Amino acid sequence: MHIPDGYLDPDVALLFYVLSAVFLGLSLWRARRILEDRHIPLLATLSAAIFAAQMLNWPIPGGTSAHLVGGALAAIYLGPLGGALVMAIVLIVQCIFFGDGGITALGANIWNMGVVDCLVGYYLYLLATRMLKDTPRAKIIGAFLGGWLGITLGAFFCGVEIG
């Protein structure tokens, strides 16, 4: 779902750079107020683990591949703003050093797999745990549904941006 260079209209690419920059700016501002020093190693560890998990690709017929996406997991641990920061770090490293997605589409990729996935994943997780009385089963169901719907809506945004 990493959008490569040349797939987005320049106006669309610029719009999603601005949207992602505003959201990440808000995330950084809020993170300085919320996150404590003890959260920094968790943020770094989650970034490294999600990066490693996302580098494992499974081939799909048609010449493409699939991989895990950890936005919902990062958001469950750090909140949606912290999760978006983790995903932005991962996506920037993947884009610059591994060619996953293009520089011109980086804003859209951060929006789809960072912002949308983290927001949807986090709030669906909260909804499931509240509705199912915060049991271990509720947490598993909430994490699964949050991750699934979050990345599905990210893919929907991807289609809208390209189309």
Rounded Cα distance, 83 and 128, in Å: 19
Q: What is the pLDDT of residue 34?
A: 76
Instruction: Provide the whole-model pTM.
Output: 0.91
What value does the mean pLDDT of the chain take? 92
Alpha carbon distances (Å) from 113 to 91, 107, 159: 8, 10, 13
**H/E element, 65:** strand 64-66
Burial of 124 (0-12, 13-18, 19+ CB in 10 A): buried
Q: What is the dotted CATH code of the domain comprising 10-162? A: 1.10.1760.20
Residue 57 predicted with pLDDT over 90: no
Cα pseudo-dihedral 89, 94, 102, 13, rounded to 10: -20
**pLDDT tens sequence across 77-100:** 999 999 999 999 999 999 999 988
Mention every residue, 6+ apart, whose C-beta is less than 8 A from residue 156.
none
Ordered by start, the domain boundaries in the chain are 10-162
pLDDT at residue 63 greater than cutoff 80 = no
